[in-house]
Chains A and B, each alone.
Chain A
């Protein structure tokens, strides 16, 4: 195992209530099981719903800083479109960006004080760094499964295609972290995510 170890800096972002912290916890625990050194840190601001949330997850043979340096993110996993653009400057050149097409307009947008970026503007922000942009209809797919709240695990399924961790490790970690009654539907969501990522066109804009 040791010889195969790579480094991976992952940024998970979304809006409070979408399960960003749980998703990044699962990445961290799966990576630990696979033999990596891991650090992860969340920035939530205050405890309420609705604010921007970002988690930094770092895996390598030895990790020092819990925060990823700007311009060093290998993979961005965004549960909301605008939040993807918000962290675009953290991406490394040619990083992977996996984005849930879901849109949650901030209050200032509803009040007409600010504008929500168009899809083209969001993609343009990311393209400053990378063409490897994958857009997933996460909320729709999770809804089809019967529970929108599985969207975070579905997105983890998408991430799994790029991470140096085996499927078994992902699944056992997900099972460990979720209560019995939610286990099955989330494991399904994970599989749906893995399939989805294969279906989307690379560099789609």
Chain B
């Protein structure tokens, strides 16, 4: 075994590749499946790495750094690029000096997202080159090219991964070591390049078009656009993880593997197409390659049989190709259905989660369980607009407390919109602390300015829990572990002009109930900061609660909390001691009408 071989995830490999390529400034906002990129980079003490407030700010930080000649990288999940799209488009037109690499981690199959948009379209929209790795080795190798291309062509470079690349481990030959090209960055005055007034912006657009022409030429010889000749009956054009599935399914076909998927090497594709009997594209999500190849006047198929929705795998590629007559039916193999009668096991709020108490309170005050009893269209007594985070799981039974979840920060604006439209019910917006700082603040400003009467619950668990517990401006700890300033959410709300602000202990059911009742009665914007640490970040788990079988009359109300530690078997309720969070929580103990739960 050579010493340089390591088993790395796509994200680990990407971070290492960027580090070796001399990245000096890295910024990101957490988002599955991109989060571990910055987490890994933040461990290198000779670079600057930050969690930014949101993706737009992250992009602006990257842009500023690149303007000084430093190498910079910005990473985010696919929907993060929506948030960052304004500065991303701006970076395209101004160009950069130091390499600027933008990583978008897409999520086909929606493993942990709100949609499965295909961000390859952004490369075309922004007129920037895009690289797509097929495994961790590719990721590592492509990072070096990404920075070089960025500098050579004066453009941000988009690197697109997907969940299956980011979160799969494969063997990487770690060949390089770190080299920093420009150790003393400097910003040089250049209005025509950096000040996008109309007079300067129009000529820049012309530059962008020239850049695309040069890039189109360059990609014809880009070393990671590769042809693997085999039999010429079928020629497959592919990129990303789809390449791996296709190689397995078509062992005899010839392959054009594209490491750069924008712009596309037209001559190379034409040459490849000319030599094979049938040209197909195997790609996940949209027919991005297929449509662009078609527009070159080449006959090609793909999405006629490869699904548009969800991620691919070898079974799907095999079955759809067999259906299209590209493989014998016998290749499908003998498939049996999943076992029947399996209870589902969706993700849940943890035992001791600080979101549980307020959600139970919302459920009961809002009589939310009634909503599930009838199929007729009905307006909830209490409308609850939601947002994105662990607390989105409150949408599942038994809590059933969310009416909407769209994109980060949307809940507050939606709540105001419903109120202004004139609904009769009371409206509550629920938002996490990290999400509030990401994109809830402007919604709150808007609600106060426009004299809303909504209640806003800021669930302050002091972390970005959903994505794996990253720090954020409210925690006062930086990505590299430094103590910095912690934004005070209470004063922030006060400064915005909110008059009624309550801070309530997330584990005090009585206080939650009276606080919520009070806020709902008010004709003004009311904010309740529900404060309690995320259970996953509390090490101490003392005195798991027990159910006293003598006192318990099996009313089942504690089961309505949805705490995974509270279980029932054959009508008997019990608490699993290895799961219960104990003293930090006690919610079920406060709830039990029979006083049957205790230490």
- A residues adjacent to B (C-beta < 8 A): 15-16, 25, 28-29, 32-33, 35, 37-52, 63-67, 69-71, 82-83, 85-86, 88-89, 104-117, 121, 125, 128-129, 148
Contacts and interface: CB of A to CB of B under 8 A. Distances in A.
B248 A64 contact: yes
Interface string B244-267: 110110000000000000000000
Interface string B317-355: 010000000000000011111110111111111110000
A89 B337 CA distance: 6
Contacts of A43: 111
A16 B335 contact: no
Main secondary structure of the interface of B (DSSP, over half): loop
B32 to A, nearest CB: 8
Contacts of B497: none
Nearest 9 pairs of A and B residues by beta carbon: A125-B339, A51-B347, A114-B343, A41-B168, A66-B168, A64-B248, A50-B348, A106-B345, A48-B347
Contacts of B398: 107, 111
B536 A49 contact: yes
Contact of B315 (A64, A66, A69): A69
Interface stretch (B47-55, B268-276, B460-468, B475-483): B460-468
Nearest to B568: A110
A196 B341 CA distance: 30
Given A46-B347, A51-B346, A64-B247, A107 B170 contact: no
Contacts of A109: 343, 567
A118 B245 CA distance: 36
Interface stretch (B434-442, B558-566, B583-591): B558-566
B1 interface: yes
Contacts of B338: 86, 88-89
A25 B336 contact: no
Contacts of B241: 65-66
B344 A114 contact: yes
Contacts of B390: 46-48
Interface-central residue, B336, B345, B349, B350, by most chain A CB under 10 Å: B345
Interface-central residue, A44, A64, A83, A112, by most chain B CB under 10 Å: A64
6 contacts: A39-B170, A65-B241, A65-B313, A82-B345, A88-B339, A115-B343
Nearest to B170: A39
Contacts of A104: 576
A50 B564 contact: yes
A51 B345 contact: yes
Contacts of B393: 46, 48
Interface string B452-475: 000000000000011110000000
A169 to B, nearest CB: 11
Contact of B244 (A64, A85, A110): A64
B466 A52 contact: no
Contacts of A49: 347-348, 350-351, 536, 564
A41 B7 contact: no
A121 B170 CA distance: 36
B228 to A, nearest CB: 12
Contacts of A89: 335-339
B569 interface: yes
Contacts of B350: 48-50
